[in-house]
Structure 1
């Protein structure tokens, strides 16, 4: 018994005192927060990483030096390039805190599954980073534009995209697992946000860009890319990106502009939105039924309707429903007629709800999606009108 207790004590002490076998001191590492992938004329990858200078990110310790550095290397595989970065970087790179992956438009046109496979296999890289593409600019340049608030370009982009999707819904909010799910699915096409640069890129790279209220260059969310398997098919407008989130039940909040009379508009803030989808094959055609339910309040009004009357709220509610239905149906028809691409996952819904029929048409789903009948039913309840009940327009003489 004593021998057993002694053995347990020794094992416990050894476990407590032992350290991590692969640990590195903080002074020996550089945290990578962003990665960009481009392709040159020689068909080789150019991998660009952004590493942070943590001291310069804090207002208390900053001394005016660059808050991050960007370094590029050219080669055949990301696996080799990511470990070869020390040809120019002094410290060991840590990729576990990466926030954004920017893929060049030329790379996306040729296909990205080769290096996505590396990202998925790598045990150091998490799957919670944003995947975006650069439109009309190099992916590396997106990581080089500095910004006033978040001094790191990648940290700024991560926050920007998260805030955008929460407040308006223009970013499809794609992570690594989202891309892989779409790539391996026969009932869904992939999407990702597309970024571009507005302004003077050369000036935007400078630390001085962070000291200006009106920056010389900024990275903007431009549109949404549609993928066919792992390749770029085309781009959609930001409004379509918002509608994509709405249809797929991923929209948090947004604002809809609604016509209330000739050249007069309402600004309606949407919240608590829920979209439910049902799908089945009826007489050889796919039938998709969408039910959209949402609450709202009046953000602004250019009309003179009396907001103390319940009929005004009912009227504005009907106008809002009509506008949302028009927006959603417009995006769906565009994807059916122009692109023949089911980015909404209607095929996956059909797989779950009408499995036998979907398996018979699985290989031809794009053709069935093109001819699918999609019914959109929208119900919006406007709950309040802000802190005013009487419009300023109604007070005009």
Structure 2
């Protein structure tokens, strides 16, 4: 009997620690934000563009039916002397409570990133307890951030999801872009041995037509959103853009390439052999002698032959070895070109300084204050690349070889 009363007493006491539903948030009371854009107007005030989800027009639409006939998102803009003021001014236009917890995309205009930098913007977003620091950041290249936010998209009905999924896909399959979050950006900004790099997004086409529902009702869109280049930063400000192989060289060194394709010339024909990288590993090490640092990069790539436009005997081990050698030289060139370009910009986007710091902390303390402007531009970097061919596709020799024999 005593045990029963003791058990009942403990249950009653535990009720005091239950929070209940005091912080409940009903869906009809919330304006769910999916993306935020940051610009500046001619008066120097921040312009904050909010992309809100229209639940009635999204429900079921992702599976191909059941959604409403209107746009899947609505967009409102507000201005303020700082990010917080612009946020609260938006509440004068929206009938519901602004809800940031589902926002997964922050777009900053190229103009703001160049002139103002992004430190203050990230500070405002990190301090808000409702905002997730896993939110993805992109730079609006050559356009206002609001243009990216207001552009409707077809396959992914929510534009913020389209941008995030595009980043994930192109990072995995193309190797020229990377997905960066607020948390990762702040960590890099705090480092004295690494600078920030963020993927750029641009709107291609007519921005006014991109805002209209008719844009996604056509088989060919009047305005589309595309990943375009890597924005290179120094001390929190955008200073340059890397494109194509230069951008991929950065991703190689950061060890973020999952899959990509590499073309090499063969028998005087340009881009005659296409090689698909299916796995790779990049290792970066540092060495300091007589107070001078040096970096060594070792890349090991494995992949398949995916296209051949000249007759070549892929059954010959010597030919395979020569192709592998050519692939290694091509990848090595890409890495060296990216390093040279970064050194001209005096921006260590690769984190070589962090590598020196981990291996030689005492030496790093002497050089960290002048790392980006003095040491990094003249840093000696050794690059070694090994490329291996694992398969040649569904056939070995191309039918082009047989055609050559029959002539």
- TM-score, L = length of structure 1: 0.95
Aligned to 2:321: 314
Aligned to 1:359: 365
Aligned equivalents of 1:249, 1:277: Cα separation in 2: 9
Q: What are the Cα deviations for residues 357-385 of structure 1, in whole angstroms up to 9, with x where unaligned?
A: 11111101121111111000001111001
Residues 1:19 and 2:26 aligned together = no
The CA RMSD over aligned residues, in Å, is 1.6
- Tell me if structure 1 keeps the 8 A contact 2:248–2:334: no
- Tell me if structure 2 keeps the 8 A contact 1:298–1:384: yes
Residues 1:167 and 2:173 aligned together = yes
Aligned to 1:339: 345
Larger CA deviation: 346-355 vs 382-391: 382-391
Residues 1:133 and 2:134 aligned together = no
Aligned equivalents of 1:260, 1:55: Cα separation in 2: 56
Deviation at 1:11, TM superposition (A): 3.3
- Tell me if structure 1 keeps the 8 A contact 2:80–2:86: yes
Q: Report how many aligned residue pairs link the two structures.
A: 395
Q: What are the Cα deviations for residues 121-178 of structure 1, in whole angstroms up to 9, with x where unaligned?
A: 1111112221111121100011111111011211111111111101112222211122
Aligned equivalents of 2:328, 2:369: Cα separation in 1: 36
Aligned equivalents of 2:231, 2:168: Cα separation in 1: 18
Matches within 5 A, 1:57-68: 57=58, 58-59=60-61, 60-68=65-73
Aligned to 1:10: 12
Secondary structure of residue in 1 paired with 2:250: helix
Label 1:327 to 1:354 Cα distance change in 2 as closer, same or farther (>3 A).
same
Matches within 5 A, 1:266-345: 266-336=273-343, 338-345=344-351
Deviation at 1:76, TM superposition (A): 1.4
Aligned equivalents of 2:269, 2:191: Cα separation in 1: 44
Larger CA deviation: 6-15 vs 80-89: 6-15
Aligned to 1:42: 43
Deviation at 1:298, TM superposition (A): 0.7
Deviation at 1:12, TM superposition (A): 4.0
Structure 2 regions of 5+ residues with no counterpart?
none
Aligned to 1:240: 246
Matches within 5 A, 1:62-141: 62-109=67-114, 110-141=116-147
Aligned equivalents of 1:258, 1:312: Cα separation in 2: 14
Aligned to 1:186: 192
Secondary structure of residue in 2 paired with 1:259: strand
Deviation at 1:13, TM superposition (A): 4.9
Deviation at 1:14, TM superposition (A): 5.6
Secondary structure of residue in 2 paired with 1:347: helix
Larger CA deviation: 272-281 vs 78-87: 78-87
Aligned equivalents of 1:23, 1:303: Cα separation in 2: 66
Matches within 5 A, 1:204-219: 204-219=210-225
- Tell me if structure 2 keeps the 8 A contact 1:193–1:223: yes
Aligned equivalents of 1:257, 1:39: Cα separation in 2: 42
Aligned equivalents of 1:392, 1:144: Cα separation in 2: 50
Aligned to 1:177: 183
- TM-score, L = length of structure 2: 0.93
Deviation at 1:15, TM superposition (A): 5.5
- Tell me if structure 2 keeps the 8 A contact 1:48–1:140: yes
Aligned equivalents of 2:234, 2:173: Cα separation in 1: 29
Deviation at 1:305, TM superposition (A): 1.2
- Tell me if structure 2 keeps the 8 A contact 1:285–1:373: no
Aligned equivalents of 1:158, 1:253: Cα separation in 2: 18
Aligned equivalents of 2:355, 2:68: Cα separation in 1: 55
Secondary structure of residue in 1 paired with 2:395: coil
Aligned equivalents of 1:260, 1:177: Cα separation in 2: 45
Aligned to 1:31: 32
Secondary structure of residue in 2 paired with 1:111: coil
- Tell me if structure 2 keeps the 8 A contact 1:224–1:238: no
Structure 1 regions of 5+ residues with no counterpart?
none
Out of 380, 388, 397, the residue aligned to residue 390 of structure 1 is 397
- Tell me if structure 1 keeps the 8 A contact 2:80–2:89: no
